[in-house]
Amino acid sequence: MESSIPTIRKSYRGSFPFKLATTSYIYPAPVVPNVIKLAPLLDEIEIVFYESKGQDAFPDARLIEDLKGISLKADVRFNIHLPIDVYLGDPCEALRSEGVKVVKEWIERTMPLSPSVYTLHFSLRDDQQALDRVLWRHHLSESAGRILTCGIEPSRLSIETLGYPYEWIEDIVRTFGFSICLDIGHLLLRGVDLKDYLERYLSVTSIVHLHGTQNSRDHLGIDRLTAETLDLVFSYLQSYQGILSIEVFTWEDLRNSLRVLDERWKLNGEEETVKRRIGETAGLR
């Protein structure tokens, strides 16, 4: 690990109604050194497994034991981002079966870590314009049922908002009892009504991915978000009790995001206090 990168020294544990997390790739180092440095600062760490292929992709027994030891020693929890290169609704049966196998193996291998939640993509491989949505949804439901045979509670699987309308899969999520991963950056890139999504889905959201966007790029620090967006998001987070993961991948983006989080949380808290006092005063008249 590069010694020139400073350590963030302030602890944010227990500072919010939600559990604050970030990814396991903040420092230019493998997962374990990242977790060791981040564990004293946060309530949770999002262990990221974006790729299912490659020599170092699979979470082997040594990694699980190391992470379990850190969790017990530092009293930090994990949530797991499952690989995104799986296509559970694809027309190709072999590709769907491989995806189901990968997801089940990753869940079973990481169960000793007692993750709070697993985040899963219902990804599209082909052009959305040519999508047979009925068949895609049928295959998704079939794959979801096969995944649940590994014994995981459905609510511990959070299905992430991606580049298509969540309405396409909303009934599948509800039918199986899955929770939702509300990715703010993805929603902003799609240009959807963010308030509408927060109103409709936050109550059944187990994890929020918060990151900035700029020039069609995401996973940037939340200092890249507009004041209007920050005001909206933090107004809803005041009563949110799930996980908020600052989903960035550099120390600079995490540092800037935590600074904004500090500033905005205090500002929103002060505004809520003023509103409450005004209401109490009006009630005495």
- Return the percentage of the chain with pLDDT > 70, whole number: 89
- Collapsed DSSP state (helix, strand, coil) of residue 114: coil
Q: Say what the pLDDT of residue 274 is.
A: 43
For residue 92, the domain's CATH number is: 3.20.20.150
Q: Say which residue, 129 or 196, is predicted with more confidence.
A: 196
Q: Say what the pLDDT of residue 61 is.
A: 94
- Collapsed DSSP state (helix, strand, coil) of residue 246: strand
Residue 20 has pLDDT above 80, yes or no: yes
CB 62 within 8 A of CB 112: no
Q: Is 108 inside any structural domain?
A: yes
Residue 285 has pLDDT above 80, yes or no: no
Taking only the tens place, the pLDDT of each residue in 56-80 is: 677 899 999 999 999 999 999 999 9
- 75 backbone φψ class: left, alpha, beta (φ>0; ψ -120 to 50): left
Q: Is 277 inside any structural domain?
A: yes
Query: Where are any strands of DSSP class E within the chain?
Result: 19-23, 44-48, 77-81, 118-120, 157-160, 179-183, 205-210, 212-214, 217-220, 243-246
Q: Say what the pLDDT of residue 132 is.
A: 92
**Among residues 40, 44, 32, which one has the least CA distance to residue 78?**
44
Q: Is 261 inside any structural domain?
A: yes
Confidence label for 53 from pLDDT (cuts 50, 70 and 90):
confident
- Please report where in the chains the tokens 């909303």 appear, as a residue: 170
Residue 17 has pLDDT above 80, yes or no: yes
Taking only the tens place, the pLDDT of each residue in 76-95 is: 999 999 999 999 999 999 99
**Among residues 242, 183, 178, 241, which one has the least CA distance to residue 212?**
183
Residue 174 has pLDDT above 60, yes or no: yes
Q: Say what the pLDDT of residue 128 is.
A: 66
Q: Say what the pLDDT of residue 270 is.
A: 55
Q: Is 100 inside any structural domain?
A: yes
Taking only the tens place, the pLDDT of each residue in 114-171 is: 999 999 999 998 766 678 999 999 999 999 999 999 999 999 999 999 999 999 999 9
Q: How many domains does the chain have?
A: 1
CB 206 within 8 A of CB 243: yes
Confidence label for 271 from pLDDT (cuts 50, 70 and 90):
low
Q: Say what the pLDDT of residue 266 is.
A: 80
- Collapsed DSSP state (helix, strand, coil) of residue 13: coil
Q: Say what the pLDDT of residue 257 is.
A: 97
Q: Is 57 inside any structural domain?
A: yes
Taking only the tens place, the pLDDT of each residue in 222-249 is: 999 999 999 999 999 999 999 999 999 9
Q: Is 137 inside any structural domain?
A: yes
* CA 111 centroid distance within chain: 18
- The mean pLDDT value of the chain amounts to 91
Task: Please give the residue range of the domain that contains residue 36.
Answer: 19-284
Q: Say what the pLDDT of residue 147 is.
A: 98
Q: Say what the pLDDT of residue 56 is.
A: 64
Average pLDDT for residues 211-218, to the nearest whole number?
A: 92
Q: Is 124 inside any structural domain?
A: yes
Average pLDDT for residues 24-28, to the nearest whole number?
A: 95
Query: 61-74 and 31-38 helices cross at what angle (nearest 10)?
Result: 10
Q: Is 215 inside any structural domain?
A: yes
Q: Could you give the C-alpha distances from 223 to 31, 197, 214, 229, 246, in angstroms and in order?
A: 25, 21, 10, 11, 12
